[in-house]
Chains A and B, each alone.
Chain A
Amino acid sequence: MSLDRAPAAILVEELHKSFGRVHALRGVSFAVPRGTVVGLLGPNGAGKTTAVRILTTLTRPDSGRALVEARDAVRDAASVRRLIGLAGQATAIQVELTARENLEIIGRLTHLPRPVVRERTASLLSRFDLAEAADRPARTLSGGMQRRLDLAASLIGEPAVLFLDEPTTGLDPRGRLHMWEIVRELSAAGTTILLTTQYMDEADALAGHIIVIDHGRVIAEGAPEELKERAGGDVLEFTVLERSELAGAAAAVSGLNGREPQPDGETGRVTVAVGGASARAMIEVVRRLDAAGIETEGLVLRRPSLDDVFLALTGHQAEHELRGRSGPRRRPAGSAAES
């Protein structure tokens, strides 16, 4: 079977898709090796969802190829549907029905024999800590439990490739950690996972390889550590006590290793990428701020987050809508951002 020679569980080549005048995808290519977790990272409207919709046979691309386990998502959609699971938003759940009924119905629709459905339902319920709530209507479950039930539903057919579309958006921190734990377990058991997220820390925590997309293009990809290196090494961060001193503080620390500081007008925080020589940079920053007579708090030196990476790659912050940040917008880094 060609399946064994297939280099990747997911292979996407030059995908283009437009909705009217909106170009959702403008030539996206990437591969997901079998058994790995790959994070598809980007802000709202970047094209993540369109890519997943094409791979899960819900939308046809205008051009390009999307293969799942060497099967074409357009021409061989029926085979692809037997191989994949799609979860994320709690869309498989009928809230009036119980957790058990929901799983059994999805199992039946996956064309499994009844005894298999019953057996897998029971094991998924206990594995996802839903056994006690199994016979309560799904609407009475917490948000985290509903998400887990939804994920369980997508696993009942034991998919080889799992698409997780923003699986923790809207969950509380505990629900989020629980979901992360489950994703790690699934990955450890060998399931290939393509995870879309707008959260940098989520991609960092779960994915061994991250594909950053913005405006329908892949703008960078690599291991989380590689991407962080590209953001310019360590990051120094402090907050000014007086908001009026923000511009002065940014000016005082500019010119360190050739990277411009990023002042945030809303929080009063200044972020500077300081490259490799971080200890010296820290001393220099303290000196300059002291010389300028600017009082600060919370001066820290940290490893770059993927937020910093996104900023470095695209010139805009990925999550400003979500977290209410409104840092200064630089013009996109242009050709430097092309992958």
Chain B
Amino acid sequence: MAASAQVLPAARVSRLGQTGWAISDALVMTRRNLLVWFRVPAYLVFTVVQPVMFVLLFRYVFGGAIPVSVSGGYVDFLMPGIIAQTAAFASFATAIALAEGMKQGVIDRLRSMPMARSAVLAGRLLADAIRMLVTVLVIVGVGYAVGFRFQAGLAGAAGMVLFAELFGIVICCVSGYIGLAIKDQESVQAFGLIWLFPLTFVSSAFVPIATMPGWLQAFALHQPVTLVINAMRAMALGGEVWTPLWQSLLWLGGALLVFSPLAVRAYRRG
């Protein structure tokens, strides 16, 4: 094999330009990541079991004690919140996979190859976005089984799912940066993503904010996850969409502007 080894493989490389290869590499990495997910049934189950438990817990255990002023009752109030939380928690996988890749040298190994350097992050994000979409759709299905109904038509339903997806991708960028920076999956699991809990629970996801003490309301009302959930709820059930939508888009855009360059930098530095 060495006789040909002295020749640069450039001649064998087909005509895709640099951008073409970047896309091709990202898709190969996406496929690799999704294959891992499909190959291990436990991953599949864990991905959906936790949000399903949340649906059942809040629908049947806590829900009766939480008064809401939504026409379909608590289950309609609950589902957009659960779906937003599901999308946000999907980023655990992103952070853990990147931390593991950094620690065990997998990412280094890929960076020593002629593939596009962007493909590791792009492939991770794309695979996680697809996984997130599947999970969200499963949860919508479970929601339907326990009485949830979209009330603002197909466009509203699709809009809510897509917005949840966008929200989840932004959170994946933040978590991905944390994973790349911490470089240790146990630490990521233990405390790297702990900030997601107050953000998703001290929000309008599970209870009306008016039931919280005043000092907490100030935070809950204005934090981005509440804005995202309010926009999703309005898309799912009807109501004023635009105000929470543009406000949350500002937050999401800001987070993306801050954290994606940070993530890329952490990745480059290795």
Contacts of A106 in B (CB 8 A): 113
Give 4 nearest A-B pairs by CB, closest first. Answer: A190-B2, A91-B105, A109-B115, A160-B5
Question: Which residue of chain B has the shortest Cβ distance to A3 in the bound complex?
Answer: B6
Residue count of chain A within 8 Å CB distance of chain B: 40
Please give the number of chain B residues whose Cβ is less than 8 angstroms from any Cβ of chain A in the complex: 37
Name 22 A/B residue pairs within 8 A (Cβ), A-sorted: A3-B6, A35-B2, A56-B112, A81-B112, A83-B8, A86-B109, A86-B112, A91-B108, A92-B106, A96-B40, A105-B28, A105-B31, A109-B25, A110-B113, A111-B14, A116-B12, A157-B114, A158-B9, A159-B5, A160-B2, A190-B1, A190-B3
Please report whether the interface of chain B is mostly helix, strand, loop or mixed according to DSSP: helix
Shortest distance between the CB of A147 and any CB in chain B (Å): 13
Provide the bound-state CA to CA distance between A69 and B9, in Å: 14
Give the nearest-CB partner of A189 in chain B: B2
Binding site for A on B (CB under 8 A): 1-6, 8-10, 12-14, 16, 21, 24-25, 28-29, 31-32, 35-36, 39-40, 104-106, 108-115, 119, 270
Given contacts A56-B112, A94-B36, A108-B28, 19 further A-B contacts (CB under 8 A): A57-B112, A58-B108, A81-B114, A82-B10, A86-B109, A91-B104, A92-B106, A92-B110, A94-B106, A96-B35, A96-B39, A96-B40, A109-B25, A111-B14, A111-B16, A111-B115, A157-B114, A160-B6, A191-B5
| Chain A residues whose CB sits within 8 angstroms of the CB of B5 once the complex forms | 158-160, 190-191
Residue A205 interfacial (CB < 8 Å):
no
Q: How far is the CA of A126 from the CA of B23 in the complex (A)?
A: 32
Min CB gap B47→A, angstroms: 14
Q: A159-B5, A160-B2, A190-B3 are in contact. Are A97 and B114 (CB under 8 A)?
A: no
A113 contacts the other chain (CB 8 A):
yes
Please state if A91 and B106 are interface contacts (CB–CB under 8 Å): yes
Q: Within 8 Å CB of A116, what residues of B?
A: 12
Question: In this complex, what residue of B is CB-closest to A112?
Answer: B12
A113 lies within 8 A of B14 (CB): yes
Chain B nearest CB from A62 CB (Å) reads 15
A91 CB contact (under 8 Å) in B35, B40, B109, B270: B109
Contact partners of B29 in chain A: CB under 8 A = 109
Contact with B along A74-100 (1 / 0, CB 8 A): 000011011110100101101011000
B114 touches A82 (CB 8 A): yes
- Interface positions, chain A 13-58, Cβ under 8 Å from B, are 35, 53, 56-58
Among the listed B13, B105, B111, which residue makes an inter-chain contact with A111, where contact means beta carbons less than 8 Å apart? Answer: B13
Q: Smallest Cβ distance from B189 to chain A, in angstroms?
A: 19
In whole angstroms, what is the CA distance A109 to B106 when docked?
14
Q: Say if the beta carbon of A101 comes within 8 Å of chain B.
A: yes
Given contacts A91-B109, A190-B3, contact A101 B35 (CB under 8 A): yes
> Are B12 and A137 neighbours in the complex by a CB distance under 8 Å?
no
Residues of A within 8 A of B35 (CB): 94, 96-97, 101
Contacts of B13 in A (CB 8 A): 111-112
Residue from A35, A84, A96, A155 having most chain B Cβ neighbours under 10 A: A96
Residues of A close to B113: CB separation below 8 A: 81, 106, 109-110, 157
Whether B9 and A82, one on each chain, are in contact in the complex, defined by CB atoms closer than 8 angstroms, is yes
Chain A contacts with B in 168-217, Cβ cutoff 8 A? 189-191
Q: What A residues does B2 contact at CB under 8 A?
A: 35, 158, 160, 189-191
Interface centre among B3, B36, B39, B112 (most CB of A within 10 A): B112
**CB-CB < 8 A to B14: which residues of A?**
111, 113
